[in-house]
Copies of this chain bind each other. A is one copy, B any other.
Amino acid sequence: MSSRPLVTMTTDFGYMDAYVASMKGVLLSINREIEIIDICHEIRPQDVFHGAFVLHTGYSFFPDGTIHLGVVDPGVGGNRRAILVQTDRYYFIGPDNGLFSYILKHEKIRSIRALENKSYFREDISSTFHGRDIFAPVAGHLTLDIPLNELGPEIDNPRILDIPEPKVDEDMLIAHVLCIDRFGNLITNVTRSFWNNQVGNRRFFIYCRMRIEKINRSYNESQPKDILAIFNSSDYLEISSNMGNAARELGLKPGSEIEIELR
């Protein structure tokens, strides 16, 4: 290809150490032309679902051909596999522990391979940092257009996490908080299309300290510090506090349930 290869990174390595930079150094040592973009390094330590969700909200905005590296890897050095997932548009490289659950559920999958060919790994492989020793080297080599089947055999049973689905009874919808963002917005598992199908034009009450009876179109339709509901930029139902921090004000966290009464 003529333009520089793009590699994104999503990890729980944070910003205090040289882990992220070590991976970048490995990538650039294999192919100096790689452009590296950080998606997120503040995934909660070892929280694979958190990584899966954040990656899910970010990967699709990148150009076709982008390689997405994901490393949230509590099982490093054990017997979980290392995988490459090829979709219609992208490559995903990381541990086979559910980190790519959303991709495996939502994207058109072309192939999934177990990364087994050590000639594309670093020479010495630690048992604690496969991001540097396996995933980054494979991504680096992939930008050099090696044939995929060199990397390892196809598999058909990748690990996929149970993503909690909203539960609906006749007059009750139970949503789960999937993620809390920097602003304290509570992102639930109710998508806009799920809402349209299940709630449609029915009247509803979202119970969250105050009783919310409408979906906002923008944050500042409400008064400052009002708790409100809105479909966010990824089309998930979000509980927010205008100019405030809903998570802090409501004391909710990932996994919390939110009841929505339907009339």
- A-side residues, CB < 8 A to B, are 3-4, 6, 8, 12-26, 28-29, 32-33, 35-42, 45-46, 54-55, 57-63, 66, 74-78, 126-129, 132-133, 181-183, 217-221, 230, 232-233, 243, 245
- B-side contacts of A36, CB under 8 Å: 37
Q: Are B74 and A21 in contact (CB under 8 A)?
A: no
Q: From the candidates B26, B39, B128, name the one contacting A218 in the complex (CB within 8 A).
A: B128
Whole-angstrom distance between the alpha carbons of A133 and B77 in the complex?
Answer: 41
Whole-angstrom distance between the alpha carbons of A252 and B258 in the complex?
Answer: 39
Whole-angstrom distance between the alpha carbons of A20 and B24 in the complex?
Answer: 18
A-B contacts, 13 listed (Cβ < 8 Å)? A3-B32, A16-B42, A18-B58, A21-B58, A22-B57, A29-B62, A61-B132, A74-B219, A76-B219, A77-B217, A78-B218, A78-B221, A127-B230
Whole-angstrom distance between the alpha carbons of A134 and B8 in the complex?
Answer: 22
- B-side contacts of A46, CB under 8 Å: 183, 243
Given the contacts A21-B61, A29-B62, A16 and B181 also touching, CB distance less than 8 Å: yes
Whole-angstrom distance between the alpha carbons of A91 and B230 in the complex?
Answer: 32
Whole-angstrom distance between the alpha carbons of A127 and B222 in the complex?
Answer: 14
Q: From the candidates B25, B33, B220, B232, name the one contacting A37 in the complex (CB within 8 A).
A: B25
Whole-angstrom distance between the alpha carbons of A216 and B198 in the complex?
Answer: 51
- B-side contacts of A39, CB under 8 Å: 18, 21
Nearest B-chain residue to A132, judged by Cβ: B233
Q: From the candidates B16, B29, B76, B78, name the one contacting A63 in the complex (CB within 8 A).
A: B29
- B-side contacts of A126, CB under 8 Å: 232-233
Whole-angstrom distance between the alpha carbons of A24 and B238 in the complex?
Answer: 23
- B-side contacts of A57, CB under 8 Å: 17-18, 22
Given the contacts A62-B29, A77-B218, A77-B219, A21 and B37 also touching, CB distance less than 8 Å: yes
Given the contacts A45-B182, A78-B218, A28 and B37 also touching, CB distance less than 8 Å: yes
